[in-house]
Every structure is written in structure tokens, then in C-alpha cells.
């Protein structure tokens, strides 16, 4: 039966493929394909892990003391029975044969199928056995991880004669897990939870694959293997489409690929407006390897390196100074002399560190993570880690142009502490004989307080970068990751526009650099508006650069600036921009 699920469009384009349902708690399970010659070996790996768990549980049962509650023995019997049930390992083996899934993926795919069957059971007792099944699978997954034998070499679907594209469906995906999908087999994502600028959405966008979040119930309604169309522009998901609808979307998919190829040709065209203003189009990156995509897309620098992703999935061990230095240096070298803006860790809110690390640092009691020990607050609370990161960043400056960016600044006292720490770090590096060059210091404008007191902050820093994702969240008091208030997340809100516009004007008046690195910078809908406000430096995901550049090439900043007051004075700035800015652009657009 065909039906639609509606959500929030976060990453454009159309993806068509088969649904792979993954439980949120298991998105970190390895997902890769195995070659035909490795299938029997992979089934063997699965069965060995299963047998190891059977042995473990049987021993546990045999050694139960005589006075142990009999429920315990009964529970172990249930777990042993589940382990021997063909519906678990037998069907998981079938996933390996039919789909070439690795053992971990096959097992979690089968768990999803069975979990649904349990959910639908009338009998309470049987329905509750789902938790037992999950525990059993958890044990087998652990046994697979502990197995000493070789794991197969991942292959691509092309290596075994093609496979339908796969689209991931999950209730939620944490940004830390999402980052692991960067080079994965999935060609699109659908989640129940999340807002347009949640970090999960941001990472999906950086992967440049269609995604829809905040659907509330996709993971419940979509079945394993269903045919699914993700319309990443409209934010809709079409499940089991009719042949006519499928054909229509295949056509749109081809059109959008052609459009991308056309825009891609602008890669080497300098971003200069019709009235001769040079515009910097920088890239936002999460990992040093992303710098390659940045150069490829024609970025003239990195405007935001979200260094916190180096601190995730660490299981308690944070990256050392050497590891960080190597990562920053790699990005700096890849950018070949173009500036690289490295932001110090912005952990907290929807980017928590993993549990082990949090326990280690004793920051576990977080009442309201978005307003708690986040970003620079975390760094200042962990001074030795902060110094370590600063040393690594400064050392990378010996290999190119590095800029230092501090997230979530709200107090002058924080800026003073940062400046003092920088001085201390420079001295440490000099004493240790490490080379470094001048590094410009910038702060992010993400908290309304920082925007309101910007002239004071500007006395101490070289540049500012406006983080519109958080600036909108904190100005409008809505959680950017919460789909329940996603309709209130409004970049066009007059208060938001006033803060952005003032920040740009004040920075320029003070002769300091100003850029926008929030998602607004990469959305062509806002390019004219930001140019009208005087912005000359934008930072966005590499894949967004061509579309924004096209807007820049058609813009006349003087005409746009003249129309700006009418937009800012309007009670409906979005409608006013639609009228005023289009008119300002209209006369010149005809030239192209
Ligand atoms: C922002 O808040 O706009 C920003 C760029 O930072 P992040 O999205 O990583 O919070
Ligand atoms: Mg932010």
C-alpha cells in the first residue's frame, strides 16, 4: 500500500531506494557489504558468536546457586531458546546471503523485523519478550566485536552485480553516529526526530544526500525493505510508490542531477557580484578529509571547522595534542594556503560526548544541555584540555593560514580568559621550540547577549562569525533539534534579522571581519538578504557553494542594500524580501 510521511526537509534532492530500518541504539553498528566469496565465512562468524553466547549463558545457568530465584533460570532459558530460534540467526544468515550484509548489520536488521512482530502481539507477556530479544542480540553483537577472527573486507554493491540504493530509517540518529555514515552505503536518511538545524540534519547536509527529519513516525510506519522515495526538497517520504509516481520522481532525480552538474561548472568562477564586490564563499567542515570536498567545490577557505567531531566516538579517551595537531595540519595543508578557521570544541546540547567520556569528566548532571556547560563554557571548565587544543591549533599555523574561532561567547570575562590562555599557550610553545605564526582570534555571535554588546567584544577580537543556527534558537527560545517547535524556528523573524543586520553593520564599521557560518549562509533563499546587509563572507557546506555562487553572480549589492530598510521595517520580512529584493535583483538578472 502506498502512503506518505511528512517531515522537515533538511537536505535537498531525491533519493529512491529500499528502506533499511535501524534501531536508534544500533546505528553505530557497522554497516557494510561482503563479497560473494566471503558469505559463508560471514555466516560462520555470526554462528560462532551465537555459540559463544549460548556457551556463556549455559555456564551461567549451570552455575546458578541452589537458592537463586527460579525466575533467573527461567529467564536464561528464554534467552537460550531465542538464541536457538531460526527466526533470529537463521533469518539473519539469510540477510547475509541475499543482501551481502555483514553479520552485525544482518543481525540488527533481523532484530528490527522481529521487534515489530513482538510489538504487534496481543499478549502482554509475549510482547514483553522483545526486551529479552534485544538483550540477546546485544550479547551476540558484543561477541562479534570480541571475536579474534578476521572481519571481511567491505565491498561496494557494484562488486557483486548491483543492488538497489539503500535509505536509512531510524527513530533518531545522534550527530556522533551520523558522522560515521559519511562514507557509508546509505543514499538517504529519514528520522522521526530532529529539526532543520539539528546537528544530525547538518551532517546529512554536509554529506549532500537527501534527508527528511522530524517525521515523528516514519520508523514505525515504514517496513524493512519497503520501496521509498525521499523528497528532500519538500520534506516528504513516499512509501511503496505507484509506478507512475516512481517514474515522475526518477525524472526529477535526473533533472536535479543535471542541475547540479550545471552548477558545478561554476566551480572556478570567482564569486564577484555585478557591481564588482568580491565575496568569500568558505566551507564548513567536520573532519580534515572534508577539506578535499571544500577545495573541489571551489571554496576559498574553511570558515568553520567543527573540531568537536574529533572528540566524539572516543569511548573515554579524548584526542591528544599530537592527534589534534595532525588533524588540523591535514586540513591546513589540504587548503593550500587558503584560510582555515578552526573552532574550539563545541560539545554539549545535541552534540554530547559519549557516556564514558562524560563520566570521566564528571559532567553528567545536565539539566538543560542547550543552556548548560556547552562550547567555550566547557573549554574554560577544562583548562588543560583547552590549552591542549589551543597548542594543537597554534602548531598547525606553521603550515598555513589558521584562524581561531570561539563558540558561544556571551561575557567579556570569557574573552579575557581566552586571551590570557592564548598568551600562556604561546609561551609554552616558544619554550618547547614549536613554530607558530600569527593566528587571528574570532568569536561566534550565537547568543543574543553577544550580538547586543558586539561593539564591546569587537575591541578584543579580530573577527566575528555569526552562528545563525544558535542565534535563532536562543533569540526565539526554541530548541533547534526539537521537531515539536520546528514551526517556530524562523530565520525571517524580525528580531533575528535585526540582530544579524546590526552585527554585520557594527563589525564592518569597526573594520573587523564578519562572516555567517550558520545554515542561513548556505541557503540561496537568504543570499540576497545577507548581501543587502553588507555581508561579504559566507561559510557553508561545500555542496551548497555553487547554488549560492549563482546568486552572488546575479546580485547587485548596491541595489540590494538600498532595498534593505523596506525589508527590515516590514512586519512580514519574508514577503517584503520576496517583493523588494527581487525587484532590486530583477533589473540586473535579465542580463544573464
Ligand atoms: C551556528 O550555531 O550557527 C553554528 C554554525 O554552530 P553549530 O551549528 O555547530 O552550533
Ligand atoms: Mg552554534
CA atoms within 13 A on the CB side of 500: 31
Which pLDDT value is given to residue 591?
A: 38
Which pLDDT value is given to residue 274?
A: 95
Please name the residue ranges forming H helices in 120-171. Answer: 124-127, 129-146
Taking the C-alpha atoms of residue 435 and residue 429, their distance in angstroms, rounded to an integer, is 7
- What average pLDDT score do residues 142-170 get? 77
206 and 517 Cβ atoms separated by less than 8 Å? no
Which pLDDT value is given to residue 592?
A: 39
- Count of beta carbons in the 10 Å neighbourhood of residue 459: 10
518 and 475 Cβ atoms separated by less than 8 Å? no
- What average pLDDT score do residues 201-221 get? 89
Of 454, 370, 367, residue with least CA distance to 410:
454
Please name the residue ranges forming H helices in 167-320. Answer: 175-178, 199-206, 218-221, 243-264, 290-296
Taking the C-alpha atoms of residue 232 and residue 45, their distance in angstroms, rounded to an integer, is 38
* Residue of 175, 306, 447, 516 best suited for mutating to test ligand 1, as the one with most atoms within 8 Å of CB: 306
Q: Is the pLDDT of residue 356 over 70?
A: no
Report percent pLDDT > 90 for the chain. 65
Q: Which residue has the higher pLDDT, 512 or 195?
A: 512
What is the number of residues in the chain?
A: 592
Asked if residue 198 has its Cβ within 6 Å of ligand 1, the reply is no
Q: What is the mean pLDDT of the chain?
A: 90
Taking the C-alpha atoms of residue 153 and residue 151, their distance in angstroms, rounded to an integer, is 7
* Residue of 308, 469, 480 best suited for mutating to test ligand 1, as the one with most atoms within 8 Å of CB: 469
107 and 46 Cβ atoms separated by less than 8 Å? yes
441 and 406 Cβ atoms separated by less than 8 Å? yes
Asked if residue 306 has its Cβ within 6 Å of ligand 1, the reply is yes
- 493 annotated active-site: no
State the residue for C-alpha cell 555567517: 516
Interval 546-555: pLDDT, tens: 999 999 999 9
Interval 90-116: pLDDT, tens: 999 999 998 889 999 899 889 888 888
* Residue of 198, 308, 344, 444 best suited for mutating to test ligand 1, as the one with most atoms within 8 Å of CB: 444
Q: Is the pLDDT of residue 588 over 60?
A: no
Of 31, 11, 4, 1, residue with least CA distance to 229:
4
Instruction: Tell which atom from ligand 1 comes closest to the C-alpha of 199.
Output: 8
State the residue for C-alpha cell 565491498: 155
C-alpha 384, offset from chain centre: 27
Ligand nearest to the CA of 199: 1
The H or E element containing residue 76 is helix 70-84
Least confident of 192-201, 251-260, 278-287, 534-543: 192-201
134 and 155 Cβ atoms separated by less than 8 Å? no
As beta bridge partners, residue 189 has: 168, 211
- What average pLDDT score do residues 378-397 get? 96
Eight-state DSSP code of residue 391: H
pLDDT band at 25 (very low <50, low <70, confident <90, very high): low
As beta bridge partners, residue 19 has: 167
Report CA(203)–ligand 1 centroid distance (Å): 12
Q: Is the pLDDT of residue 159 over 80?
A: no
Q: Which residue has the higher pLDDT, 134 or 391?
A: 391
Give nearest CA residue, ligand 1 atom 10.
Answer: 470
- What average pLDDT score do residues 280-285 get? 98
445 and 160 Cβ atoms separated by less than 8 Å? no
Q: What angle do CA 289, 291, 294 make, to 5 degrees?
A: 135
332 and 399 Cβ atoms separated by less than 8 Å? yes
Q: Is the pLDDT of residue 162 over 70?
A: no
Of 577, 445, 464, residue with least CA distance to 524:
577
Ligand nearest to the CA of 471: 1
| Phi, psi angle pair for 317, to nearest 5° | -110, 110
458 and 186 Cβ atoms separated by less than 8 Å? no
Which pLDDT value is given to residue 589?
A: 44
Taking the C-alpha atoms of residue 491 and residue 469, their distance in angstroms, rounded to an integer, is 9
Asked if residue 518 has its Cβ within 6 Å of ligand 1, the reply is yes
Instruction: Tell which atom from ligand 1 comes closest to the C-alpha of 306.
Output: 9
pLDDT band at 146 (very low <50, low <70, confident <90, very high): confident
Q: Is the pLDDT of residue 123 over 90?
A: no
Asked if residue 470 has its Cβ within 6 Å of ligand 1, the reply is yes
Eight-state DSSP code of residue 175: H
Q: Is the pLDDT of residue 350 over 70?
A: yes
Give nearest CA residue, ligand 1 atom 8.
Answer: 469
Taking the C-alpha atoms of residue 441 and residue 476, their distance in angstroms, rounded to an integer, is 28
159 and 35 Cβ atoms separated by less than 8 Å? yes
- Count of beta carbons in the 10 Å neighbourhood of residue 92: 28
Q: Which residues of 520-536 are buried (b: 16+ CB within 10 A; e: fewer)?
A: bbbbeebbbbbbbbbbb
- What average pLDDT score do residues 129-141 get? 88
Q: Which residues contact 573 (CB under 8 A, 6 or more apart)?
A: 492, 494, 497, 567
Instruction: Tell which atom from ligand 1 comes closest to the C-alpha of 197.
Output: 8
- Count of beta carbons in the 10 Å neighbourhood of residue 554: 17
- What distances in angstroms separate CA 284 from CA 290, 394, 450, one per listed residue? 9, 20, 22
Asked if residue 468 has its Cβ within 6 Å of ligand 1, the reply is yes
Asked if residue 346 has its Cβ within 6 Å of ligand 1, the reply is yes
| Phi, psi angle pair for 287, to nearest 5° | -135, 155
281 and 271 Cβ atoms separated by less than 8 Å? yes
Which pLDDT value is given to residue 161?
A: 63
Eight-state DSSP code of residue 86: I
Report percent pLDDT > 70 for the chain. 94
The pTM for the full model equals 0.83
Which pLDDT value is given to residue 264?
A: 87
pLDDT band at 590 (very low <50, low <70, confident <90, very high): very low
Instruction: Tell which atom from ligand 1 comes closest to the C-alpha of 284.
Output: 5
Q: Is the pLDDT of residue 363 over 80?
A: no
Which pLDDT value is given to residue 1?
A: 85
Which pLDDT value is given to residue 427?
A: 98
308 and 386 Cβ atoms separated by less than 8 Å? no
Asked if residue 467 has its Cβ within 6 Å of ligand 1, the reply is yes
Q: Which residue has the higher pLDDT, 471 or 199?
A: 471
Which pLDDT value is given to residue 117?
A: 86
Interval 29-65: pLDDT, tens: 888 888 889 999 999 999 999 999 999 999 988 888 8
Taking the C-alpha atoms of residue 28 and residue 174, their distance in angstroms, rounded to an integer, is 9
pLDDT band at 355 (very low <50, low <70, confident <90, very high): low
- What average pLDDT score do residues 328-351 get? 93
Which pLDDT value is given to residue 70?
A: 79
Report CA(469)–ligand 1 centroid distance (Å): 5
| DSSP H helix total and E strand total for the chain | 24, 16
- What average pLDDT score do residues 147-161 get? 70
Report CA(442)–ligand 1 centroid distance (Å): 14
Give nearest CA residue, ligand 1 atom 3.
Answer: 467
Asked if residue 473 has its Cβ within 6 Å of ligand 1, the reply is no
Give nearest CA residue, ligand 1 atom 4.
Answer: 467
Instruction: Tell which atom from ligand 1 comes closest to the C-alpha of 466.
Output: 3
Q: Which residues contact 138 (CB under 8 A, 6 or more apart)?
A: none
Least confident of 67-76, 165-174, 288-297, 526-535: 67-76
Which pLDDT value is given to residue 109?
A: 87
Give nearest CA residue, ligand 1 atom 6.
Answer: 467
Which pLDDT value is given to residue 131?
A: 84
Of 583, 578, 567, 580, residue with least CA distance to 494:
567
Interval 414-459: pLDDT, tens: 999 999 999 999 999 999 999 999 999 999 999 999 999 999 999 9
338 and 316 Cβ atoms separated by less than 8 Å? no
Taking the C-alpha atoms of residue 397 and residue 101, their distance in angstroms, rounded to an integer, is 43
Q: Is the pLDDT of residue 160 over 70?
A: no
Eight-state DSSP code of residue 227: E
Catalytic residue among 31, 79, 517, 541: 517
Report CA(468)–ligand 1 centroid distance (Å): 7
- 199 annotated active-site: yes
pLDDT band at 340 (very low <50, low <70, confident <90, very high): very high
Instruction: Tell which atom from ligand 1 comes closest to the C-alpha of 473.
Output: 2
Q: Is the pLDDT of residue 149 over 80?
A: no
Phi-psi region of 559 (alpha: psi -120 to 50; beta: other; left: phi over 0): alpha
Sheet (strand 236-239) strand order:
3-6, 236-239, 227-231, 14-21, 166-170, 186-191, 211-213, 8-11
Q: Is the pLDDT of residue 361 over 70?
A: no
Give nearest CA residue, ligand 1 atom 9.
Answer: 306
Amino acid at each position: 500500500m502506498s502512503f506518505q510521511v511528512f517531515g522537515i526537509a533538511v537536505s535537498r534532492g531525491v533519493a529512491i531506494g529500499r528502506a533499511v530500518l535501524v534501531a536508534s541504539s544500533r546505528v553505530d553498528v557497522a554497516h557494510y557489504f561482503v563479497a560473494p566469496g566471503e558469505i559463508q565465512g560471514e555466516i560462520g562468524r555470526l554462528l560462532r558468536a551465537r555459540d559463544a553466547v549460548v556457551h556463556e549463558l549455559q555456564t551461567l545457568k549451570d552455575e546458578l546457586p541452589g537458592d537463586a530465584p527460579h525466575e533467573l533460570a527461567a529467564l536464561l532459558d528464554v534467552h537460550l531458546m531465542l538464541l536457538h530460534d531460526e527466526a533470529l540467526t537463521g533469518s539473519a544468515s539469510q540477510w547475509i546471503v541475499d543482501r551481502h550484509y555483514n553479520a552485525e548489520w544482518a543481525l540488527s536488521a533481523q532484530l528490527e523485523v522481529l521487534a515489530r512482530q513482538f510489538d504487534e502481539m496481543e499478549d502482554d507477556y509475549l510482547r514483553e519478550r522483545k526486551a529479552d530479544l534485544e538483550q540477546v542480540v546485544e550479547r551476540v553483537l558484543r561477541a562479534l566485536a570480541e571475536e579474534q577472527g578476521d572481519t571481511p573486507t567491505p565491498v561496494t554493491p557494484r562488486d557483486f552485480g548491483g543492488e538497489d540504493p539503500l535509505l536509512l530509517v531510524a527513530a533518531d540518529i545522534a550527530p556522533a553516529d551520523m558522522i560515521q555514515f559519511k562514507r557509508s552505503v546509505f543514499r538517504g536518511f529519514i528520522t522521526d526526530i530532529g529539526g532543520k538545524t539539528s546537528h544530525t540534519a547538518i551532517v546529512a547536509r554536509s554529506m549532500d544526500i537527501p534527508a527528511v527529519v522530524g517525521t515523528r513516525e516514519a520508523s514505525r510506519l515504514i517496513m524493512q525493505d519497503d520501496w521509498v522515495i525521499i523528497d528532500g526538497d519538500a520534506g516528504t517520504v513516499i512509501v511503496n510508490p505507484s509506478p507512475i509516481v516512481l517514474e515522475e520522481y526518477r525524472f526529477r532525480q535526473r533533472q536535479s542531477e543535471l542541475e547540479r552538474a550545471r552548477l558545478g561548472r561554476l566551480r572556478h568562477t570567482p564569486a564577484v557580484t555585478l557591481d564588482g564586490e568580491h565575496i568569500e564563499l568558505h566551507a564548513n567542515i567536520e573532519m580534515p578529509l572534508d577539506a578535499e570536498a571544500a577545495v573541489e567545490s571551489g571554496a576559498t577557505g574553511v570558515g568553520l571547522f567543527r573540531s568537536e567531531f574529533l572528540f566524539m566516538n572516543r569511548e573515554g579517551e579524548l584526542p591528544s595534542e599530537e592527534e589534534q595537531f595532525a588533524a588540523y595540519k591535514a586540513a591546513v595543508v589540504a587548503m593550500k594556503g587558503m584560510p582555515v578557521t578552526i573552532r574550539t570544541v563545541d560539545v554539549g546540547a545535541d552534540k554530547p560526548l559519549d557516556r564514558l567520556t562524560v563520566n570521566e569528566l564528571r559532567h553528567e548532571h545536565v539539566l538543560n544541555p542547550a543552556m548548560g556547560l556547552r562550547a567555550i563554557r566547557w573549554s574554560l571548565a577544562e583548562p588543560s584540555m583547552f590549552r591542549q587544543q589551543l597548542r594543537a591549533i597554534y602548531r598547525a599555523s606553521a603550515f598555513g593560514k589558521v584562524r581561531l574561532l570561539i563558540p558561544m561567547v556571551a561575557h567579556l570575562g570569557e574573552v579575557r580568559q581566552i586571551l590570557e590562555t592564548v598568551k600562556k599557550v604561546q609561551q609554552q610553545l616558544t619554550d618547547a621550540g614549536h613554530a607558530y605564526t600569527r593566528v587571528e582570534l574570532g568569536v561566534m555571535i550565537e547568543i543574543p547577549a553577544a550580538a547586543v554588546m558586539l561593539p564591546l567584544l569587537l575591541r578584543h577580537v579580530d573577527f566575528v562569525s555569526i552562528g545563525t543556527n544558535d542565534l535563532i534558537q536562543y533569540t526565539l527560545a526554541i530548541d533547534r533539534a526539537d521537531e515539536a517547535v520546528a514551526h517556530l524556528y524562523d530565520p525571517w523573524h524580525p528580531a533575528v534579522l535585526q540582530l544579524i543586520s546590526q552585527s554585520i553593520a557594527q563589525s564592518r564599521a569597526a573594520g573587523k571581519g564578519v562572516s555567517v557560518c550558520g545554515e542561513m549562509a548556505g541557503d540561496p533563499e537568504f543570499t540576497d538578504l545577507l548581501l543587502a546587509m553588507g555581508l561579504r563572507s559566507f561559510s557553508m557546506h561545500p555542496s551548497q557553494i555553487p547554488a549560492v555562487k549563482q546568486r552572488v553572480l546575479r546580485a547587485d549589492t548596491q541595489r540590494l542594500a538600498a532595498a534593505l530598510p523596506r525589508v527590515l521595517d516590514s512586519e512580514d520580512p519574508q514577503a517584503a524580501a520576496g517583493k523588494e529584493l527581487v525587484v532590486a535583483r530583477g533589473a540586473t538578472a535579465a542580463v544573464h
